[in-house]
Structure 1
Amino acid sequence: MREDISFQTSDNVTLRGWFYKPSESNGPLPCLVMAHGFSALKEMDLNTFAEYFIAHLPLTCLVYDNRGFGDSDTKEGQPRQEIIPAQQTSDYSDAITYAQSRSEVNKHKIGIWGSSYSGGNVLWVGAVDRRVKAVLSQAPMVDGWANFHRLIRPDFVAGLNQTFEADRHARAAGKSAAVIPVVDADATKPSALPTPDSFEFFSAWAAKSNWKNEVTVKSIEAFREYLPSAHIQHISPTPLLMTVAENDVLTPTDLALEAYSRALEPKKLHILSGGHFEAYSGPNFEKNARVQVEFLQTYLCS
């Protein structure tokens, strides 16, 4: 059972998504709040996860598009396709508030789920929003500075810094925000996610969704400065499940494992075979979702 929903953020932006609940339920149920990663839309397999969760658990799911993407609005006067970490983490907390307002939801049992960029967001929110009772972080971006310098060739960095400066001056003069492709078939051309698996994943979705192959230049500058694992040790005593792909070249495996080592108990690490995007579909999906269900059953739905 899926319902189209909308809710307001604390700065009066309308975010839109879906609310899932089991076809039969007794009383208020726990809720898992879910948003997608860098530029991705809710249609890009979040429905698959939510449907799996409610089929196997006494659980509701709130799935929404990040501000400025998909069906969600952005603040008046601000560009779409822009990713600002502080806004996205604040929006997670506003989504929790909305979930708590629903009669179907047990407001004392709220979990958060994120993947890739939002996998980093939930590490931040899980540490600073004490309403959260379970954190599921999948293939997370944990350190923007380190991740940026893994993805961007050293000889490209100076040019990007000049692009950041030019964009700041242009926006201050009232001009439109500059944009950059999310992916490009040619790794030597500027793009936000210059890996072959990123191009394959997003290009496939571009053909069957309203995903757009662009983000603002400011999104890349904001990516570099973001350290979502800064408070990872403060998630405890909230339980944490971190899912890490063993050959992740987009949000590198070793960075995620180092961050996990700093988290305190209770925590669980699930290492999946394959790369960054193989958690969403194919043979790995069942393995991945089953472990997440077991974690939710233990810590949120018991």
Structure 2
Amino acid sequence: MHAYTVEPLYVKSGQEVIAADFYRPKDVEKPAVILMAHGLAALRQFKLIQYAQRFAKAGYAVVLFDYRYWGGSTGRPRELVNIKAQLEDWQTMISHLQQRKSIDARRMVLWGTSLSGGYVLSLAAQLNNIKAIMVQVPFVDGAESAKLYPLQQLPKALKLSSQDYMGSKVGMTPTTLPVVDPTRLCFLQSPDSYEGYLSIVNPDYYWSGEIPARALFKLIRFRPIQDVRKINVPVLFIAAKADSLIPIESSREAATNIAPFVQYHEWDMKHFEIYHGQWFEKAITTQLEFLHQHVGVS
């Protein structure tokens, strides 16, 4: 067990600033570093701190960041989900960490959950300076996830998404959709998403619960599964059998395409259960075992 410090970290990205927390083990010289960010419309304080703390106690440095437009990071409009910009934020943070002398950037691990799991898979297929990646319930294929959206609601949602996108081109106020809602049109329409998503929200931090609708069209077209055959670093992939947002068949196909580099786990849980209780403990244990095997503390 290692003692650690947590320091604020601010990284310039164009005209904006990315806010992060830097977890540093006190007694490990030049530790390996794990770079982490959240999924759709979430802040770094939404259950990711518990992962970062456990990694730091195990002797790994951790950088946990908010995307531009979110949380402590700057950018307007607030609470915008822009896939291209968020992938750029990952690249910015990777480049920053490669310059830091206090960590061993040659042992950098990318960690993603849900949408950020999709980002990490995409990045691992492009980059050659990553030691390993860990993804849990990752978003692997927007086209397949769209098939789980209620068919009668999809045309209306896509119309709003298109209207918001066109409006953004002429400076109009964003048209938003709730992330989750039990009765209204929203981004995550599955029956367990409302309670599941709210179970990770930290009420101590501002979160409106709505995001510009333009993101929906882009999400459907985001398909990390098309690139994963290019991955050639160790991958830990944890999928949920009862996932109502990511078809388990898509996860299985993605894992098959990553072979032989993937260590694939499929657990009998729902999408949001991995942040809680026994599934969180199982995830942390599995992730630490993977880290010790492929990265190591010293």
TM-score (norm 1): 0.92
Contact 1:183 1:198 in 2 (8 A): yes
C-alpha distance 206-33 of structure 1, shift in aligned 2 (>3 A): closer
Structure 2: gaps (5+ residues): none
- Aligned pairs for 1:1-302 within 5 A: 1-9=5-13, 11-25=14-28, 27-56=29-58, 58-74=59-75, 78-150=76-148, 152-186=149-183, 189-204=184-199, 205=201, 207-236=203-232, 238-301=233-296
Deviation, 1:13, is 2.3
1: CA distance between counterparts of 2:147 and 2:102? 44
In percent, how many aligned pairs have the same letter? 26
1:211 aligned counterpart, secondary structure = coil
Deviation string, structure 1 residues 194-241 (Cα, Å, up to 9, x no partner) = 1233211333426443222011111111111111222111111x1111
Distance 1:291 1:161 in 2: 38
Amino acid at match of 1:46: L
Whole-Å separation in 1 of the counterparts to 2:221 and 2:33: 31
Distance in 1, matches of 2:269 and 2:190, equals: 15
> What is the rounded CA distance, in whole Å, between the counterparts of 2:129 and 2:253 in structure 1?
26
2:81 aligns to what SS in structure 1? coil
CA offset at residue 166 of structure 1?
Answer: 2.4
CA distance in 2, matches of 1:162, 1:28: 50
Note the alpha carbon deviations across 1:154-196, whole angstroms, 9 max, x for none: 122222232233223322332112111001022xx21001123
Q: CA deviation at 1:130?
A: 1.2
Unaligned runs of 5+ in 1: none
SS in 1 for 2:27: coil
Q: Distance in 2 between matches of 1:124 and 1:142?
A: 9
Q: Distance in 1 between matches of 2:162 and 2:245?
A: 25
1-structure distance, mates of 2:35, 2:192: 27
Taking the aligned partners of 1:300 and 1:212, their CA distance within structure 2 comes to 38
Q: How many residues align?
A: 292
- TM-superposed CA distance for 1:38, in Å, is 0.3
Letter in 1 for 2:280: F
Q: Residue type matched to 2:245 in 1?
A: L
CA contact (8 A) 1:34 1:63 kept: yes
| TM, length-normalised to structure 2 | 0.93
3-state SS of paired residue (2:79): coil
Given residue 282 of structure 1, which amino acid in structure 2 is its aligned partner?
G
2:197, 2:117 → 1: CA distance?
18
Cα deviation for residue 79 of structure 1 reads 1.8
